[in-house]
Amino acid sequence: MMPRESTNDETLSVADAGRDVWDIVVVGAGLSGSIAAREAARLGSRVLLVEKATLPRRKVCGCFLNANAVASLAALDLTSLLVTSGAPAVRGVFVAAGRRQAYLPLPTGAALSRFWLDAHLSREATAAGASLLTRTEAHLVGTDDERCTLRLIRGAEEVEIRSRIVVAADGLAGRLARETQGCTQFINPRSRIGVSAATSHVPEGYEPGTIQMVVGREGYIGSLQVEDGRVEIAAALDPAAMKRWGPGETVRRIFEHSPLPRFEGVGDLSWQGTTPLSCRTTPPAGRRIFFVGDAAGYIEPFTGEGMAWAIASGAAVAATAHEAARHYSADLPRRWIAERERLLRGRMRLCRLVTQSLRYQRLTELNVTLLGHLPFLATPVICWLNRPRPIASGQR
């Protein structure tokens, strides 16, 4: 098992960030934010990337980069991240419901912890010329015809900064949607909650290079061995079960009847949680502000696509934000909304359909039984979800 390396590549102080007008401030150095910052910097914009956590940081995620995400990283010349991290290739998924199970081959993806990936992506952004502030929370104060004003907060230190454009990449729990005039954050009342934990105990019978999915009445769990040998266990759980038993016990109960290998002491791991998973920002753009990744909208993790959506939308927003910083016109928010829809709408619809069907346990068990005998029936859906899309790159 490799030790987890620690980095903090901050490039300026909070006070320095307030001295100038930025072309673009990107809030959130997750996947979508770091990619947007890197691509916009490569186009020539002066970019500030602001992250409230200390990098590297853990993040609730199943850590599966599907074939579409891997192809997008390649299109952005970022394959080296997968190579140097030693991310294991992932070629299949075991799905279990009740006592039934099926094995479905997948187009080759990769298993990489967010601890590693996000820290290295933020470094790619600074290598491209973006400035980075970590341990700093950004809030939108207001927007006028010329620029946006943000407040940066780090401990007792507070500074107001100005930017022509803001890219909101602040994730599921982000507050920028609520701070933007004319934007509303809609949370699906039936939404599940995300949780995750890592364990170095790999159960006997666990097959490296595969995802293990277990679906139960209280939600579903995915587990995957990542680059440092640990297994990341991530789950989408019913809020009522979470309230009653807490995350560890709910996960243990879902695993209880599963035919797949079980993790020792799963109930006692250190679980981290999210806000409700199914949410969207409407509209996902306002005056001089564009929303990307989970901050614009997310559904559920079952189909393993959130990172692919974050990479695609992060790369695509860079060109729009770069153009907006130079010559702002009122139709740019509308253009970004249409562009994001074109990129993601079909995939999000299918993800919604699949995750809604998982709420019917009998139906899921029937489907898993069928796929256990005829796994090729899932091939068209798997291929469609994993198909690469041409991706916008900032390199000209």
Ligand X SMILES: Cc1cc2nc3c(=O)[nH]c(=O)nc-3n(C[C@H](O)[C@H](O)[C@H](O)COP(=O)(O)OP(=O)(O)OC[C@H]3O[C@@H](n4cnc5c(N)ncnc54)[C@H](O)[C@@H]3O)c2cc1C
Residues that bind ligand X (CB under 6 A): 27-33, 50-53, 59-64, 69, 137-138, 169-172, 174-175, 194, 196, 234-236, 274, 277, 293-295, 298, 301, 304-308, 310
Q: Of 186, 170, 175, 55, nearest to 121 (Cα)?
A: 55
CB of 117 to ligand X, least distance (A): 10
Q: Closer CB to ligand X, residue 226 or residue 370?
A: 226
**Per-residue tokens: 317:** 């927003």
Q: Closer CB to ligand X, residue 88 or residue 174?
A: 174
Q: Closer CB to ligand X, residue 72 or residue 258?
A: 72
At residue 111, φ and ψ (nearest 5 deg) are -115, 110
Are 89 and 50 contacting, i.e. CB atoms less than 8 angstroms apart?
Answer: no
CB of 132 to ligand X, least distance (A): 11
Decide: helix, strand or coil at residue 280: strand
Beta bridge partners of 157: 154
Largest CA distance in the chain: 64
Are 311 and 388 contacting, i.e. CB atoms less than 8 angstroms apart?
Answer: no
CB of 174 to ligand X, least distance (A): 5
Distance, in Å, from the CA atom of 77 to the CA atom of 72, rounded to the nearest integer, reads 9
Q: Closer CB to ligand X, residue 307 or residue 358?
A: 307
CB of 390 to ligand X, least distance (A): 19
CB of 28 to ligand X, least distance (A): 3
CB of 329 to ligand X, least distance (A): 26
CB of 302 to ligand X, least distance (A): 9
Q: Closer CB to ligand X, residue 186 or residue 374?
A: 186
Determine whether 44 is exposed, middle or buried from the number of CB atoms within 10 Å of its CB (0-12, 13-18, 19+): middle
Are 168 and 297 contacting, i.e. CB atoms less than 8 angstroms apart?
Answer: no
Q: Closer CB to ligand X, residue 97 or residue 385?
A: 385
Q: Of 59, 24, 114, nearest to 319 (Cα)?
A: 24
At residue 166, φ and ψ (nearest 5 deg) are -120, 135
Distance, in Å, from the CA atom of 353 to the CA atom of 336, rounded to the nearest integer, reads 25
Q: Closer CB to ligand X, residue 42 or residue 64?
A: 64
